[in-house]
Amino acid sequence: MQVLRLHNRGNLRLHTEPDPIPRDREVTLRITAVGLCGSDLHWYSHAGIGDAQLSTPLVLGHEFAAVIDNGSKAGKQVAVDPAIPCDHCRYCRNGHPNLCENLVFAGHDTTDGALCEKMTWPQKCLYPLPETLGAIEGAMLEPLGVAIHAVELSHLRKGMRVGIFGCGPIGLLIVQLARLRGARQIIASDVLEHRLEAAQSMGAGKTVAATSDDASAAIWAATNNNGVDIAFEAAGENEAVQAAIHAVRPGGQAMLIGIPATDETIFKASTARRKGLTIKLIRRMQHTYPQAMHLVHKGFVDVKSLVTHRFGLGDFKKAFRAALNREGIKVIIEPNQQAPT
């Protein structure tokens, strides 16, 4: 089978390797769709992310759907949770599997991810997809889960004003979730025009180009000088963090989701202190797969139109280039599709 491994900074290579053999309580999966995520791009560009460094050639990819290849459920389409919590540490026992002390995560550290034709994964991490959903939707449930987790932690309620800073897939999913929850006002900001257009089409009432000098003033004015109740930062850039903190009303909340390239989050202390802000950091997600699936299945959240690029595994260079250049919105690799010739 074909496997894409990251050997070093910017150095991805396609290999032919033997099919993996499932261990106890695992099944073999035929990978159908893998979304490229900002964190994959960090691994690709820096051979690491945060304080984790590449130590062995790693297969990236943690947003994925597959078809079960063996056993009694062979042929079934599933969305795959990339996180394997240990189920016995104190965080797992207290309902915070995303904070598990022994967490294993696909495409991270030394655990191979989904950018390959086949992989083995624990049965407990598989969520059968209803007939109405395909591989693309299945792969998008992971970023949707992150967005749901962020919105839940924020306690977003009807009538609130919300700001979204960074309109990549996660930001756009939060736009949709904020609309669903009855936000009074949704203001979205990004440096890229096409992403602002997408935010508007998904429910943002006001969009502001982050590149403009008076972006902060424009956001503040749009709220009638009230500020937003909750600002979600989903860009991984300190400028976006600063803009988010600037936009929040006194006593409001800033939710930081993006992953900074330098492993440091920097913002002006006085702005945040004077307003007495609550700042929350988002770590992946909790038990959000069933809810994510429900929202997509019932048509409450549109994940499909976020997917703007699809490539076969052999076209990985084009796929990573599109994602790095932030063309479109979400880039998907379909490992078992032949690349178009």
CB 332 within 8 A of CB 139: yes
Q: What are residue 164's DSSP bridge partners?
A: 188, 232
Whole-number minimum distance, CB 329 to Zn ion, in Å?
14
Written as one letter, the residue type at 134 is G
The stretch near Zn ion (CB under 5 A) out of 89-97, 159-167, 250-258, 280-288 is: 89-97
Instruction: Name residues contacting Zn ion, limited to 20-39 (CB under 5 A).
Output: 37, 39
Least Cα distance to 51 among 124, 115, 109 occurs for: 109
Q: Are strands 104-105 and 83-84 parallel, antiparallel or unpaired?
A: antiparallel
Nearer to Zn ion, 139 or 191 (CB): 139
Dihedral over Cα of 166, 171, 176, 178: its sign:
negative
Binding-site member from 1, 14, 89, 180 for Zn ion (CB under 5 A): 89
Whole-number minimum distance, CB 13 to Zn ion, in Å?
22
Nearer to Zn ion, 79 or 245 (CB): 79
Binding mask 259-288 for Zn ion (x = CB under 5 A): ------------------------------
Whole-number minimum distance, CB 91 to Zn ion, in Å?
6
Whole-number minimum distance, CB 37 to Zn ion, in Å?
3
Q: How many CB atoms lie within 10 A of CB 310?
A: 16
Whole-number minimum distance, CB 249 to Zn ion, in Å?
30
Whole-number minimum distance, CB 86 to Zn ion, in Å?
4
Binding-site member from 1, 14, 52, 86 for Zn ion (CB under 5 A): 86
Size of the site for Zn ion (CB under 5 A): 7
Nearer to Zn ion, 218 or 261 (CB): 261
Q: How far apart are CA 288 and CA 147, in angstroms?
A: 10
Q: Which residues, in sequence order, are CB contacts of 298 under 8 Å at separation 6+? A: none
Binding-site member from 58, 66, 83, 92 for Zn ion (CB under 5 A): 92
Q: What are residue 261's DSSP bridge partners?
A: none
Whole-number minimum distance, CB 102 to Zn ion, in Å?
5
Instruction: Name residues contacting Zn ion, limited to 96-115 (CB under 5 A).
Output: 100
Whole-number minimum distance, CB 62 to Zn ion, in Å?
6
Q: Which residues of 7-39 are buried (b: 16+ CB within 10 A; e: fewer)?
A: eeeeebeeeeeeebebeeebbbbbbbbbbbbbb
The stretch near Zn ion (CB under 5 A) out of 51-59, 82-90, 208-216, 323-331 is: 82-90
Nearer to Zn ion, 37 or 60 (CB): 37
Dihedral over Cα of 62, 282, 149, 242: its sign:
negative
Gyration radius of the chain over CA positions: 20
Nearer to Zn ion, 69 or 81 (CB): 81
The stretch near Zn ion (CB under 5 A) out of 15-23, 48-56, 85-93, 218-226 is: 85-93
Nearer to Zn ion, 65 or 92 (CB): 92
Nearer to Zn ion, 85 or 236 (CB): 85
The residues of the shown chain that bind Zn ion, judged by CB under 5 A, are 37, 39, 85-86, 89, 92, 100
